[in-house]
Every structure is written in structure tokens, then in C-alpha cells.
Structure 1
Amino acid sequence: MKQLTAKEVEILLLEGKPLNLIDVREVDEVETGKIPGAIHIPLGLLEFRMHELSKAKEYIMVCRSGARSARASQFLESHGFNVINMSGGMLAWEGETK
């Protein structure tokens, strides 16, 4: 599984790179703030909403600590998606949130 640190993701965003971020945390967790532009799909709904995603795009998966996003990454990879896990999750995120 490919991984990027929270800092690496932040640098890519600051450089203006167009990233496809998917936040798999629960609703109450996302209410405390998420990375601007991230799509919120709770882990439990990912199976039912993966039709909204494109296999032609690369997605960076985000959660609180990196564990749920790793599970989400493995799940999507098994269905042919190109994904990267953001290790450390939002606990390691120092960038902007909305």
C-alpha cells in the first residue's frame, strides 16, 4: 500500500497540486474540521458509495490516525482503485482545516 505522511500531503496542497482526498471518519469527527476540498465518505458507507469514484483518478485516504484509512485503501485497491493512505491521519495534520 502506498503511503504519504500528513506533512507530504500538506506540501502537495501548498504547491497547488490537485489532490483527491477522501475522509473516511465519522460525521461527528469531520464536524471538528477536515482538510479543505476533502470528500467525506464514512468508512462504513465506502462500499456503497465507491460507484461515485473513478478508477482513472488517484485518491488519498484520510482518517483520524491512519488505521481506518489504511483499511479503506486496502478495500479500494482490491476493487481496482489507485489509492494512497495518509499515515498519521488528522492527528498528524498541521495544515488548514474547515
Structure 2
Amino acid sequence: MASSDKDISYGELKALLAKGSGLLVDVRGKDEVDRGRIPGSIHIPVEHVERDMSLDAAEFQSKFGVVKPPLDSSELVFHCQLGRRGAVATEKARSLGFTNARNYAGGYKEWSEKGGK
């Protein structure tokens, strides 16, 4: 399987967020998130992805304040600082049945460099 169907570009992510749809999950550590984050993202550290993405819809919404995406959502995106943890999180989500989950491979580093913040 090509990585292209698992990765989302800066431009695609910006368009998705501009639409106000999709769910962007920041899987970095709390200290990293505290230094800056992509607006609209929710924080689930990579080590908690399986646990938190397995919550039922009501628990998920209660914990994160957003609607849990359906398993077939093509608008579920994970990101970290540089892309590696985001890829791990994307694989974890896919193993839970989120078959179209994607990784923003550019990560927060690219986002902040391109002035997205």
C-alpha cells in the first residue's frame, strides 16, 4: 500500500480545517502541545490513541468536546512534530477500524514554518 493514501499534505489539511470538518488529532507530548498547536486539533498522546479512539461516542465527546468520527471517516487526521509518531498513531487507528485515517506527515514543524498557526 502506497503511503500517499495515508498521508495528507499541508494544503489538503488547511482546506479540510477551513471547511470546519474533519478531526485533527495531535499525538505529541503535553509539553510540545503547550508550546503551540494547530487550531482545532484535539490532544491524544500517541500512547493513548488506542484507548481513546476506542471510547464510545458519548465518552469521546464528553472527554474531548468533539464528535467521534465514524470508522469510515476520510477526515480523521493525526499529526505530531515531524511525522513519525503521527504515522504510528495512524496505523493504530487503522487497526481499530478507522480505515481511512491519515497522517499529516509535515507535522507541527511544517505547519508552523508555513505560517499556519
TM category (shorter chain) comes to 0.7 to 0.9
Match of 1:10 in 2: 14
What is the number of equivalent residue pairs in this alignment? Answer: 95
Q: What residue ranges of structure 2 are gaps of 5+ in the alignment?
A: 61-67
Match of 1:83 in 2: 101
The 10-residue stretch of structure 1 (69-78 or 43-52) with the greater mean CA deviation from structure 2: 43-52
* 1:29 paired residue among 25, 29, 32: 32
Q: What residue ranges of structure 1 are gaps of 5+ in the alignment?
A: none
Q: State whether structure 2 residue 51 is matched by structure 1 residue 48.
A: yes
On the 8 A contact 2:17/2:40 being kept in 1, the answer is no
Give the whole-Å Cα distance in 2 for the aligned partners of 1:33 and 1:74. Answer: 25
RMSD: 1.7
Give the whole-Å Cα distance in 2 for the aligned partners of 1:28 and 1:7. Answer: 26
Structure 1 counterpart of 2:8, which letter? L
Give the whole-Å Cα distance in 1 for the aligned partners of 2:44 and 2:72. Answer: 19
Larger radius of gyration: 2
What is the Cα deviation at residue 12 of structure 1? Answer: 3.3
Q: SS where residue 97 of structure 2 aligns?
A: coil
The structure in which a higher percent of residues are helix is 2
Percent identity, aligned pairs only?
38
Higher relative contact order (CA 8 A, sep 6+): 1
On the 8 A contact 1:6/1:90 being kept in 2, the answer is no
What is the Cα deviation at residue 6 of structure 1? Answer: 2.3
The structure in which a higher percent of residues are strand is 1
Deviations 1:30-61 (A, max 9, x none): 00111111010001111221123442533110
After TM superposition, the runs of 4+ consecutive aligned structure 1 residues lying more than 6 A away are: none
